[in-house]
Structure 1
């Protein structure tokens, strides 16, 4: 029998950060993950954007989450002697004079703290970029090489034995008031589900209001396009090295196709053509399924009736920004040092569990 303090199911950005935090605190952690190359975390461009959406609003808890995430990823860079996090300016292109005027009018109230570094009211002349109405310069954001980060953690986990590349079978989990036993072989004090969108099929958590959302991205070669910043107008354009960029992302609600689609390819290519008049070559396309939540807030905390189980996920398209702080929050709760924030707690949906609503 293998004994551990915490059994984490899933090694995407949610499970990987949580497992790391728990291990750093000296807990015995065992992680199960099948290692899918097209998981949402592996496909993601890892963008951390402080101001997003058509309303040009500061992202939820951005003043706390962004600096916390940046410090967390820099710590991992030092540990693994690899580069994962790029604190890169984001240039949000205005689509019209009306949008420019609306944003500038709002800026008088300073609603974005120090995340907006300034505005251009005319084309700033970025190489290869078509920005006739100017745009806003965002700071303290950037992007994370999520696939490389998860790979570095997985190499250590495989070598040290705390990561098992297996599909977890929830039917073989037996729970009690003081813990859980899996497949008659692993005994854990607590089990945390970090399965992402796959949790919609979880027998313990299927009632949560998770809605899978498919996103597709393109990898393009675009010589001459400025790589000194992330570009954002209807799509993000993230520099990933040399003349290569990742362009994304689409949002598709069920039902959606299994894998990449020609529709998404054409949509993203059209969006990129609005940002640049340069020619580009599509060299890759990927699709992943995000775990979106009805109220656009993460899901965190204990199962309402099974004390040995907790949930960590529902991060949608903001996983790299949310994961570090929420991993620490859940670890603090598991250690008995903090309460789960009400706006992310599973308790806000407990009535769904009691009536069996998915």
Structure 2
């Protein structure tokens, strides 16, 4: 039985609205409409706040490139993802609510089969399993090949439950279409040099007044004049879309790369990790690396039909960055989600909204305050 500390996403999203001082134009100005900014803006709008979002609409943003994988157990160490027991059920309920709102399917709750790559890994995981470290997310461990169609798994693997994948690009497109129709989404880049803050809020470009501004810029925040001191360590990743007839599509596959089923014999394969300096878009090296990883998982022939690359907003300790600026009360930050964006975004959007309304504090292990000592003297 998977544990969850929340009964439903709707209960936390649609809580009573606090009366706030009347402001011109909007209560909250959100900069960025990736998965972090989009979920936060949605939560704030559901609570009755006036929200304006600035986003230039980049097709190669990390959120638009991502396969949207929600994985409870990840990495070579086979470790339980941070706060998985709370984040995963909450995210699933959140995306189901959005599906009802827009009449589209976004969340595909499917098992994940994590293939063992050797007898040594097999033995190490089996030894760890005696302590039940995975909070119920491991449904089964097998040392035998499960004989999935087209899958090469001679050492067996682990069946994971409670995860799946989200159609992030389609989800963001649905939210953006609503924003364009209702006028709260401004399709342009935000110029931070045009922002002035005071005790009552902020003014942008001399014409937009907001009670509070939230930076959800992703990796671009490394150049932000207010938050550039945060320890973001952006990394670039390539993903491939492939056609592979006969490969099992009943689950996500994971061994050195994830293989996410898209339907009609198509799969998304990812992802690479590249540190600066970044290439200008997808690379041949990334394509070859991912093709080689897929060839370990399947002996079937496949054709690459698409390739994209984006830059993730990672953090050195692999924890998100959330909360108010240490010296400018009208500003907050929301990001640093790395490759875990779809799993983190819904619950953290609600947490930050609660904080902005004054009835919660940011979790210490997610608060940007843990890095306040990095802010140089004299920097905003």
Measured against the shorter chain, the TM-score band is: over 0.9
- 2:224 counterpart residue number: 202
- Supply the distance in 2 between the matched residues of 1:54 and 1:294 (Cα, whole angstroms): 18
When residues 122 and 356 of structure 1 are mapped into structure 2, their CA distance, relative to the original with a 3 A threshold, is farther
- 1:293 counterpart residue number: 315
TM-superposed CA distance for 1:355, in Å, is 3.3
When residues 197 and 315 of structure 1 are mapped into structure 2, their CA distance, relative to the original with a 3 A threshold, is same
Q: Which residues in structure 2 correspond to 1:140-289 (within 5 Å)?
A: 140-289=162-311
TM-superposed CA distance for 1:57, in Å, is 0.7
When residues 354 and 282 of structure 1 are mapped into structure 2, their CA distance, relative to the original with a 3 A threshold, is same
SS in structure 2 opposite 1:220?
A: strand
- 1:4 counterpart residue number: 26
- Supply the distance in 1 between the matched residues of 2:242 and 2:73 (Cα, whole angstroms): 25
User: Please, which moves more after superposition, 235-244 or 344-353?
Assistant: 344-353
- 2:341 counterpart residue number: 319
User: Please, which moves more after superposition, 100-109 or 190-199?
Assistant: 100-109
Matched, 1:139 2:169: no
Q: Which residues in structure 2 correspond to 1:325-344 (within 5 Å)?
A: 325-344=347-366
- Map Cα deviations across residues 117-156 of structure 1 (whole Å, 9 max, x no partner): 1012111000000000000000010000000000000000
- Supply the distance in 1 between the matched residues of 2:276 and 2:169 (Cα, whole angstroms): 25
Alignment counterpart, residue 48 of structure 1, candidates 66, 70, 73: 70
- 1:38 counterpart residue number: 60
TM-superposed CA distance for 1:244, in Å, is 0.2
TM-superposed CA distance for 1:352, in Å, is 1.4
- Structure 1: segments with no counterpart, 5+ residues: none
User: Please, which moves more after superposition, 149-158 or 116-125?
Assistant: 116-125
- 1:23 counterpart residue number: 45
- Map Cα deviations across residues 99-126 of structure 1 (whole Å, 9 max, x no partner): 1111111111111121001012111000
- Supply the distance in 2 between the matched residues of 1:180 and 1:243 (Cα, whole angstroms): 50
Q: Which residues in structure 2 correspond to 1:346-357 (within 5 Å)?
A: 346-355=368-377
Matched, 1:57 2:55: no
Aligned partners of 1:207 and 1:356 also within 8 Å = no
SS in structure 2 opposite 1:329?
A: helix
- Supply the distance in 2 between the matched residues of 1:141 and 1:355 (Cα, whole angstroms): 43
TM-score (norm 2): 0.93
- 2:148 counterpart residue number: 126
TM-superposed CA distance for 1:256, in Å, is 2.0
TM-superposed CA distance for 1:68, in Å, is 0.5
SS in structure 1 opposite 2:339?
A: coil
User: How many residue pairs get matched?
Assistant: 358
Aligned partners of 1:210 and 1:292 also within 8 Å = yes
TM-superposed CA distance for 1:357, in Å, is 8.6
- Supply the distance in 2 between the matched residues of 1:344 and 1:356 (Cα, whole angstroms): 25
TM-superposed CA distance for 1:211, in Å, is 1.3
TM-superposed CA distance for 1:354, in Å, is 3.6
- Supply the distance in 1 between the matched residues of 2:299 and 2:374 (Cα, whole angstroms): 50
When residues 133 and 200 of structure 1 are mapped into structure 2, their CA distance, relative to the original with a 3 A threshold, is same
- Supply the distance in 1 between the matched residues of 2:124 and 2:372 (Cα, whole angstroms): 40
- Structure 2: segments with no counterpart, 5+ residues: 1-22
